Structure 1
Amino acid sequence: MTSERDLVKIVVIIVAVLGLVSPVLALDLPGGFAFLRDIDPTIIQDIRYAGANNFMGRPIAGYGAAECVVKREVGLRLKAVQQELARQKLSLKMFDCYRPVRAVADMVAWSKNGTETAAERRYNPAFSKADLFRLGYIATHSGHSTGAAVDLTLVDLTADNSLKFDPAKDYADCTAPVAVRAPEGSVDMGTGYDCSDAKGHTAASAITPAQKRWRARLVAAMAEQGFANYSKEWWHFSLPGAAGPAYDFPIGRAR
């Protein structure tokens, strides 16, 4: 029979082991940065570059956890946006936040690897991935690396958002109707996230009136808190004045 003293020893050992493991799994952030979930846990997170549901089809360098990390000021403003949206039964959904410099380098190397799969072409159906940087769809020096830029969309909390991405399914490209492209559990903005195409430009004309209204609603909600949209990506917003140096610390899980 295990004595009370033995049980105490076991507990001490477990605590000690967890103390050794947690620095590997968790992350101490540089000053000024914060986990968005610590600021507002109601904001939905779907951090694409931490998994396989993205234009590279695999986790991208530096994304050790599916966590949104931002400058604290950015997070507080996102919280204010979320509070206003909640009154309309809507929510923000984060696709990408802080992006390590090593992730950008990974993207550059991927664009030059000389191969292109059908799954990759879903994100840039009109041209080769080698042209993504030249055409301004991916930056070699990303504002995301400063913690002041985010990629996001809107979720209608009254809708059925249960459809999930299936990596084994052959989806249509990102410009196709919402019923046949990869599901995102969000409102229909006219294209999928990270769609490198003219149809993904915020002011694109080749989308429906309803899709235009959703984009305008997102831009207006973000502008209320000072965020500026990037014209070639309806999902990309930055906070002027919040950017600083680019960082390369890896993304780990929140403590």
Structure 2
Amino acid sequence: MNPSQLVDIQSINREIILDIKYATNNNFLKQKVYPEPRCVLRYGTAKKLAQIQENLKQKKLGLKVYDCYRPLSVQRQMWKVVPDENYVANPTQGSRHNRGAAVDLTLVDGNGQELEMPSQFDEFSGKSRRSYNGGTVRSRQNRQLLEDAMKQQGFTGLVTEWWHFDAAGWEVYPVTDVPFNKIAQN
């Protein structure tokens, strides 16, 4: 399969838990902006994420995904609500999510329960920063565990969001505005 093809993560690894926040009202927009809860990524990115899931499984841990590919039209909606490049990419340049090579996620235990992190997902505050030294020791250890697992497969994180990771080579993919219903589910 072509590494740049957009695929549903569930066609690659069904053990990755989905909690796609933008397919619900439980997000900073307070509205559903995705028609369905899907994690779509470039095939090469999806394969690396599946490998991370397999590596974590050996530690009785796993991944829970909040967001993956994001159509550019949704990026524009987000920018209208939070026009702050520390937390939302300016749609004039597009985001790494719009390229299908970024993922927002956390760690879960063997029962699928989220591990404690320094902040909630999409909390736009200093607690979200990778350098945040507050919170509990356990939350900072869990954040580091997630970062280490992602780095092993070539992902890099944003300094402002502990949950956001970009696949290596994200910049080669074009900004895309393909609706979810145009991407095969397999």
TM (norm. structure 1) is 0.66
Structure 2 distance, partners of 1:190, 1:80, is 25
Structure 2 distance, partners of 1:254, 1:47, is 15
Identity level (%): 34
CA shift at 1:206, angstroms? Answer: 1.5
Please say if residues 73 and 242 of structure 1, whose CA atoms lie closer than 8 Å, have aligned partners that are also in contact: no
- Name the structure 1 match of 2:84: 133
CA shift at 1:142, angstroms? Answer: 1.1
- Do residues 222 (structure 1) and 150 (structure 2) align? yes
Structure 2 distance, partners of 1:241, 1:56, is 29
- Name the structure 1 match of 2:162: 234
Structure 2 distance, partners of 1:233, 1:57, is 19
Structure 2 distance, partners of 1:87, 1:239, is 22
- Name the structure 1 match of 2:119: 191
Structure 2 distance, partners of 1:133, 1:156, is 33
- Name the structure 1 match of 2:102: 149
Q: Secondary structure at the match of 1:57?
A: coil
Alignment of 1:1-255 (within 5 A): 32-60=5-33, 63-109=34-80, 111=81, 129=82, 132-134=83-85, 136-140=86-90, 141-158=94-111, 185-243=113-171, 244-252=173-181, 254-255=185-186
- Name the structure 2 match of 1:24: none
CA shift at 1:242, angstroms? Answer: 3.5
TM (norm. structure 2) is 0.90
4+ runs of 1 displaced by more than 6 Å?
Answer: none
Deviations 1:191-240 (A, max 9, x none): 11011000110120122211110000000000000000111000000012
Higher Cα radius of gyration = 1
Q: Secondary structure at the match of 1:235?
A: strand
Please say if residues 96 and 170 of structure 2, whose CA atoms lie closer than 8 Å, have aligned partners that are also in contact: no
Structure 1 distance, partners of 2:154, 2:24, is 30
Please say if residues 64 and 250 of structure 1, whose CA atoms lie closer than 8 Å, have aligned partners that are also in contact: no
Structure 2 stretches lacking a partner, 5+ long? none
Please say if residues 145 and 246 of structure 1, whose CA atoms lie closer than 8 Å, have aligned partners that are also in contact: yes
Please say if residues 7 and 185 of structure 2, whose CA atoms lie closer than 8 Å, have aligned partners that are also in contact: no
Aligned CA RMSD, in angstroms, stands at: 1.5
Structure 2 distance, partners of 1:211, 1:223, is 18
Deviations 1:48-70 (A, max 9, x none): 1011110111112xx22100000
CA shift at 1:251, angstroms? Answer: 1.6
Number of equivalenced pairs:
177
